[in-house]
Each structure stands twice: as structure tokens, then as C-alpha cells.
Amino acid sequence: MKKYIFYLIAFLAVSCEDVLDKKNLGAIDDSYVWSDPNMIELNVNSFYANWMPTGLFERPGLAELGIISDEARSGYNGRAVNWINGVRFGADRTDVPYQKWYYGGIRKANEFLQNIEERYILPTNATQAQKERRDRFIGEVRFYRAHLYWEMIKVYGGVPIITKVIDKDETDESLLYPKRNTTDESFDFVIKELKEAADLLSITYSGDNWGRITKGAALAYCARIQLYRASPMFNPTNERKYWEDAYDTYKDVIELDVYDLHPMFSEIWKEKGENNKEIIWFKDYKKGTITHGWDAGNMMRSQAVGDATANCPVQELVDAFPMKDGTPYVKSNPETNPYDYRDPRLRATVVWNGDTYGPRNEKVYTFVSESTDPNSPMYNFDGIDSHQSATSTGYYMRKMTDESLDGTKGDYGYGKGSYTQWVELRYAEVLLGLAEAANEIGETEEGVEQLKLIRKRAGILPGDDERYGIPENISKDDFRTLVQNERYIELAFENKRYWDLRRWKLAHLKLNNQLTAMEIRKKINGEEISYTYTRRVQRHDKTNKPVFLEKFYFLPLPKEELLRNPNLEQNEEWK
């Protein structure tokens, strides 16, 4: 499948419509398409090309999605500052990547599903392979239709659910200008859509079909959405049923018995192919052909080529990583040896002062440069706040990077060069979701077992009790906090944290805080060199205080869509 995606930009163009769901009058005569399954497959592939998430690997996500949460801040001045202070959220804004209206893609899905039902009729003597292929086509497109709906529901709440093609001659205004479905109706539709898509898809694919949406991907995505529904943002009365629904679907994924944790946390994004049992839903890239800008965009100043420091990990994230025995890190100010005996995932995520990075294992220092003379031992080209292309937090990015890439050889540059895979869904998220749901229905120890698996893979020491730092008889409330922290560190920079804080209704508590940097100062006493580590407010947060208002949980429908459809009702706090 991947070879088709790489040369396929789109079989049919997806465009914004003047009306919510109006006939594309410029469509080509496609009668030949529906008699040839290979042409139908190219149509299906266009959904992958257009709607597969790329997370933080491509702009604008690379420059914005990490720094609007409490994971990072940019080195550059002004980058996404208006997100952090809330200025960019509004009904008349068109520059927020996830404040979108996806009915162009939904229209395309509805057209496909109508056409395949009406025009691709298998003969009575069709082989099982032909039937399975047709089922796969339908399952894949229903998956992506559900995905597009979910991208709107998690931002706006209920949206109009449209499952048929509205003809250009339609006169029924309730179809031309549909009202919003309720949030519950919208959830029910997406969950049903994904469950039924899962029934049409295979458990695994191989060869050219490796990378297609599988039964497990549909179920895992469904479970993620059910977890959202069970969380405080959508479940303020804490209905147990929604937690049970998420729990059951996560168990269904695990019982497929095809996924496992990768032995090495740092290799998840590099190892490609069927041997990587952790990845469930992903977008692949190819060296020299289709690449992304993650490495270039996060490079330290001394190794930068055309871009740098889009995401500098903040001190809050560093502090969240436990000790190597799994017990919480106890911070002090100033610090002495803050990176000793820590969870190995910390070094797999950040580059700290005095660490090595890159193909030549070059030393990287982030201490404050106290000299302008490059020959002085107190000069530091990569030092915190030494330049806007240097770190603004005292840390550089390591997670999901490829340290074999060499900027001096032209391996990367602005927006290009990286070919690690973006993993939108992986097995660790399934285990974390099951742990969270199990705890909420009173099965805390079952949740503990899932965290033990994740911590074991991370390199946390088991301890004499083999609980990997998780206390005996941990309470429901304490385990909830532990799971939330485990998601913070395990899934850092995977475009999960911001949405987690929203669904837990913690965003207005966490994202109104000024985040901190680690100011490191070099001390020379004869031949002895030492460093002092002191926390301070990150420079952008000092001048642009973060703001997350209660009304940001449900954003306003785009103003232009309200003007096009008089039956759309704006979210209450944005009227």
C-alpha cells in the first residue's frame, strides 16, 4: 500500500464547498472507476494521502502542537505565542490547525460509499478474496469518515452528521442546511462507524498492504474516542458505563494478540515493517523522496541547517520523569545532579547539558554563555537564550529524532530530510488507556499490571516487590494521578498531552501556569569544572503569560460556516 501512497497525491481533489455538502460540479466522468477494483483502490488510497495524521512531523504541527501544552516552548520569539496566551482562539480565526470543518472530506467519503454500494456489484461467483477486498475498501473509507468527524467533535462537541450525498437539485432545506446533532449522537455515530469498520477489516496485512488500516487500528481508535467520552470534559457526572465501554474495547484490541511493546523505546519510530509490533496506525516516510522536518526543526543551534529549536522541552516535563527505581523525582532549587539515576526515557526524550548528540556523538552544552569570545571557556554557542535559534529552556529534543542524520552532509534542512515514521497509535497507548479505564471501574490492580509492562520496557528497575516503583495498595485517586503522569512522559510530543489535559478538564489548571527553564551556570575552579542548576520562568512565558479559559474547552464553530448555514448554532460561550 505504501508504494501507492507515496506517488499518489490524491485521486480526486478534496476541496472546500460553498455549502456544507454540495455536489462537485467539476467532477470528472468516473464511470470507468467503479468497474476496476485497482482504480477503486487508488480512490481509497487518496484518503490516506489526504487525511492520515502527521502530528508534529510536518508544519504547522511541528511549530505549534508541542508548545501549546506543557511539554515545550520554542527557541524562536513569537512562535505560537498567540496560542499560548489565547489570542488565536475565535470564531473568525482560520489559522488554528485543528479548528477546521471537514465536510469536504466527508462529502468525498459519502460519494465513495454510495458509489461502491450502487456500482461495484460483485458477481454471484465472486471469490472470497474479491469479497474481502471490497469489504476492506468500505471499512477503510468508513474509518476515515469517522476520523474526520472525530476531529471536529473533540473540538466543537456535536456536529451535523451527514451520511448521504446531497444532490445539487435538493430542495429540502433541512438537508441543505442541517442542524447540529447532539454531542451524544455524534459520539454514538463515530463509535458505531468504527466498530462496523473493524468488522470489515483484517487483523493484519502484509506485503504491499502493510500499513493499511486494520481491525486493531479501528478498535484502538474507537477505544481512544470512548476514553474521551468517559473523561470529565464529556462525562461530567462520571457515568460508569462510558468507562466500561472504553475498557471493553481496549480488551478487544489486546485479545487480537498481534501487538506488543517494542523492546527499545527509542527505536519505535525508526524500525519499520511488520517486525515492529507496537505500531498500530502510522504514516511512513521514505529517505530522499517523502520526508519531514522533525530533525531539522528541533536541532540544536550548533548542528542546525535552516531551522532549529521548534520544541525545547520544559522543566516540568523533565521533572515528571521518575527515578530509575520508579519513585517520583523530588526536585530542589538549585539542583546538583538532576539527571543521575533517572528513568531511561528521560535521555531518550531530551538532550541535557553535557550530553552527546548526533552522528559524531558531539558534546552539547546548554549553560549560559557568559562571554562573547568563542575562545573563552565561558562562551557557549548552544547556551540557553544565547540566540533565538538556541534553546529557551536549557534542553534540546531527542525523542523521535534520527541521530545518524548529518547536517554537514546535507541530510536535513528546513522541512525535509527526516524519514522516521509518525506513529499516531501504538500499543503503549492501548495499555495506558486500559490502565486508566480499569482504575475508574474499580480494577486498579489490573491497571497497575499495564503500567508495569510499560515501565519494564522503559528500563525502570522492578524492585524487590516487582512493582516498578508503584506503591502497594495504591488508591484509585493516586493511581489516576500516576497514569496521567505516565501518559505525560511516555507519550510526550506525540500530540496526546494537549488533548489529555482538555479531556481531563485540567487544561485551565495546567495551561495557565508560566512554565520553567533550567538556567545552568558554569563554574571553573582551577582544573575543576562544575555547574549550578536553577529553575526560572521560561522567557516567553515571562512576557506572554499563558492563558487557557474555561470556554476554550469547546471552541467556536468557524464564522464562515455559520454564515453559510443559518441552522448551525454557535457554542454557548462564544455567542
What distances in angstroms separate CA 319 from CA 193, 346, 356, 535, 551, one per listed residue?
40, 9, 20, 11, 29
Residue 93: per-residue pLDDT: 66
**Is 554 within 8 Å of 156 (Cβ atoms)?**
yes
Lowest-confidence pick of 1-5, 68-72, 272-276, 424-428: 1-5
pLDDT band for position 178 (cuts 50, 70, 90)? very high
> Is residue 21 pLDDT above 60, yes or no?
no
**Residue 398 CB neighbour total at 10 angstroms:** 20
**Burial grade of 29 (CB within 10 A; 0-12, 13-18, 19 or more):** exposed
Span 415-466, pLDDT tens digits: 999 999 999 999 999 999 999 999 999 999 999 999 999 999 999 999 999 9
Q: What is the C-alpha separation between 423 and 384, in angstroms, rounded?
A: 30
How high does pLDDT run on average in the chain?
A: 92
Residue 524: per-residue pLDDT: 96
Average pLDDT over residues 159-186: 93
Q: What is the C-alpha separation between 338 and 519, in angstroms, rounded?
A: 12
Span 531-573, pLDDT tens digits: 999 999 999 899 888 889 999 999 999 999 999 999 999 999 9
Span 286-335, pLDDT tens digits: 999 999 999 999 999 999 999 999 999 999 999 999 999 999 999 887 78
> Is residue 108 pLDDT above 60, yes or no?
yes
**Burial grade of 515 (CB within 10 A; 0-12, 13-18, 19 or more):** buried
pLDDT band for position 80 (cuts 50, 70, 90)? low
> Is residue 111 pLDDT above 50, yes or no?
yes
| Of 21 and 282, more confident | 282
What distances in angstroms separate CA 356 from CA 394, 398, 551, one per listed residue?
14, 10, 43
Q: Which residues, other chains included, contact 10 with Cβ-Cβ below 8 Å and sequence gap of 6+?
A: 46, 49, 50
> Is residue 2 pLDDT above 70, yes or no?
no
Rg (the chain; Cα; Å): 25
Q: What is the C-alpha separation between 421 and 65, in angstroms, rounded?
A: 17
> Is residue 26 pLDDT above 50, yes or no?
no
Span 341-364, pLDDT tens digits: 999 999 999 999 999 999 999 999
What distances in angstroms separate CA 228 from CA 70, 216, 224, one per listed residue?
20, 18, 6
What distances in angstroms separate CA 336 from CA 191, 331, 366, 530, one per listed residue?
50, 10, 15, 9
**Is 98 within 8 Å of 147 (Cβ atoms)?**
no
User: 495: helix, coil or strand?
Assistant: coil
Q: What is the C-alpha separation between 309 and 77, in angstroms, rounded?
A: 11
Residue 79: per-residue pLDDT: 55
**Is 464 within 8 Å of 271 (Cβ atoms)?**
no
Q: Which CATH number fits domain 2-51+100-201+557-568: 1.25.40.890, 3.30.499.10, 3.60.20.10, 3.30.2020.30?
A: 1.25.40.890
What distances in angstroms separate CA 327 from CA 321, 450, 457, one per listed residue?
9, 17, 16
What distances in angstroms separate CA 450 from CA 196, 260, 570, one per listed residue?
27, 12, 41
3-state SS track over 181-235: CCHHHHHHHHHHHHHHHHHHCCCCCCHHHCCCCCHHHHHHHHHHHHHHHHCCCCC
User: 537: helix, coil or strand?
Assistant: strand
DSSP 58: S
> Is residue 6 pLDDT above 60, yes or no?
no
Q: Where are the domains of the chain?
A: 2-51+100-201+557-568
Q: What share of the chain is helix, strand, coil (3-state, %, to 5)?
A: 40, 10, 50
Which string of b and e fits 97-118 if b means at least 16 CB within 10 Å? Answer: eebbbbbbbbbbbbbbbebbee
Which of 184, 195, 182 has its CA nearest to residue 142? 195
> 493 in the Ramachandran plot: left (φ > 0), alpha (ψ -120 to 50) or beta?
left
Average pLDDT over residues 117-129: 94
Which string of b and e fits 484-505 if b means at least 16 CB within 10 Å? Answer: bebbbbbbbbbbbbbbbbbbbb
Residue 32: per-residue pLDDT: 77
State how far Cα 383 lies from the chain centre: 29
Q: What is the C-alpha separation between 385 and 502, in angstroms, rounded?
A: 31
Which helix (H) or strand (E) covers residue 360, if one does? none
**Residue 525 CB neighbour total at 10 angstroms:** 7
> Is residue 410 pLDDT above 70, yes or no?
yes
> Is residue 384 pLDDT above 90, yes or no?
yes
DSSP 152: H
pLDDT band for position 17 (cuts 50, 70, 90)? very low
